[in-house]
Amino acid sequence: MLAQRVATALVLLALWLPTLWMHDPWPFMGLTLILVSAAAWEWARLNGVVAGGAWGIVVVLVLTCLLLALTPAFGETGAAWWFAAAAWLVGGISVLRLGPDGWGRLPRLPRVVVGLLMLGVAWWALAQARIVGVNYLLSVLCVVWMADIAAYFGGRAFGRRKLAPTISPGKSWEGVLSGMLGVLLLAALWMAFDARVATDSASLFTQLKQRFGAPAMAVSVLCLVGLSVVGDLFESLVKRAVGAKDSSALLPGHGGVLDRIDALLPVLPCALAITTL
């Protein structure tokens, strides 16, 4: 299993890293759109859409994303990011309160539409973050990755109080706290890096500190960590509602694409919302 995970990660990095550093953002946007389309197919299957219907949903997502990307005002969407942030804050918490049983009782069409909106907006935000700059994009992505890694080890070492036992029994409050501390450490190191090395853009951490000061930067980053937990729990809830362990088996050793990007779905648009203040 470990060998599969490593091999899959190396293949993905070999495909992703060259597009990340290209001057033209379209290769990066195209590759990530393929991954998001795979996640849309997984979402459709998890919510009871099978065969041609799932592929139809993928087509709708791709066409919508391309239309957004070709719109002249593609990068001028501060209000859209704040709308997405509000939707995640209200809708995400509301769904978690429903629990797996409540989610399964909702009509299928709204469930499918919610997934398409989440994935489409996240890809839109990912593409816009790449346009802002590679350093900025990586700093946003690493908020989620560091939070996940620190939460895993902190939860294993200190986890006692369960965060959401009916949704994801393995997560603990101690793990969430460890993730927050890990991201604050990451922010300090990244800002020191920005101060000493010339990059194509300021990181999320540096931008927030310059605009609002260190305390507000720390609070903003911790809010993003909290939203990453909401995104993770949201997908776990959907899988538990249908008795699935993974969203699919598309990524050997990792499960599905949705399993890998669930925590990014709320963080990407919300990070851009904060940045546009």
Which is more confidently placed, 217 or 66?
Answer: 217
Domain ranges of the chain: 2-275
In the predicted structure, residue 55 carries a pLDDT above the cut 80: yes
With residues binned 3-state (H G I as helix, E B as strand, rest as coil), the percentages for the chain, rounded to 5, are: 80, 5, 20
User: Locate tokens 């399993």: which residue?
Assistant: 259
In angstroms, the CA 152 to CA 122 distance is 24
The closest of 16, 37, 40, 36 to 28, measured between CA atoms, is 16
For residue 209, give the 3-state DSSP assignment. Answer: helix
Q: Where are the beta strands (DSSP E) in the chain?
A: 162-164, 168-172
Rg (CA), the chain: 18
In the predicted structure, residue 6 carries a pLDDT above the cut 90: no
Least confident of 41-50, 65-74, 158-167: 65-74
Q: Where are the beta strands (DSSP E) in 71-207?
A: 162-164, 168-172
The per-residue pLDDT for 76 is 63
Q: Please, which pLDDT band fits residue 63 given cuts at 50, 70 and 90?
A: very high
* Torsion 132-133-139-142 (CA) sign: positive
Least confident of 85-94, 148-157, 188-197, 245-254: 245-254
Residue 168 structure tokens: 């994801």
In the predicted structure, residue 255 carries a pLDDT above the cut 90: no
In angstroms, the CA 236 to CA 100 distance is 9
In the predicted structure, residue 234 carries a pLDDT above the cut 80: yes
In angstroms, the CA 57 to CA 37 distance is 9
Most confidently predicted of 69-83, 187-201, 238-252:
187-201
The per-residue pLDDT for 72 is 65
In the predicted structure, residue 1 carries a pLDDT above the cut 60: no
* CB-CB contact of 203 with 135 (8 Å): yes
What's the pTM value of the predicted model, to 2 decimals?
0.93
The per-residue pLDDT for 74 is 63
Per-residue pLDDT tens over the stretch 15-36: 888 898 888 888 999 999 999 9
Mean pLDDT calculated for residue range 101-125: 93
Mean pLDDT calculated for residue range 220-246: 94
Q: Please, which pLDDT band fits residue 51 given cuts at 50, 70 and 90?
A: confident
Average pLDDT across the chain, whole number:
91
In the predicted structure, residue 193 carries a pLDDT above the cut 60: yes
* Torsion 131-136-140-145 (CA) sign: positive
The per-residue pLDDT for 2 is 54
In angstroms, the CA 169 to CA 175 distance is 12
* CB-CB contact of 144 with 154 (8 Å): no
Per-residue pLDDT tens over the stretch 86-102: 999 999 989 999 999 99
Q: Please, which pLDDT band fits residue 276 given cuts at 50, 70 and 90?
A: confident
Residue 263 structure tokens: 């925590």
Per-residue pLDDT tens over the stretch 147-171: 999 999 999 899 889 999 889 888 9
The per-residue pLDDT for 50 is 83
The per-residue pLDDT for 73 is 66
In angstroms, the CA 242 to CA 208 distance is 40
In angstroms, the CA 173 to CA 150 distance is 12
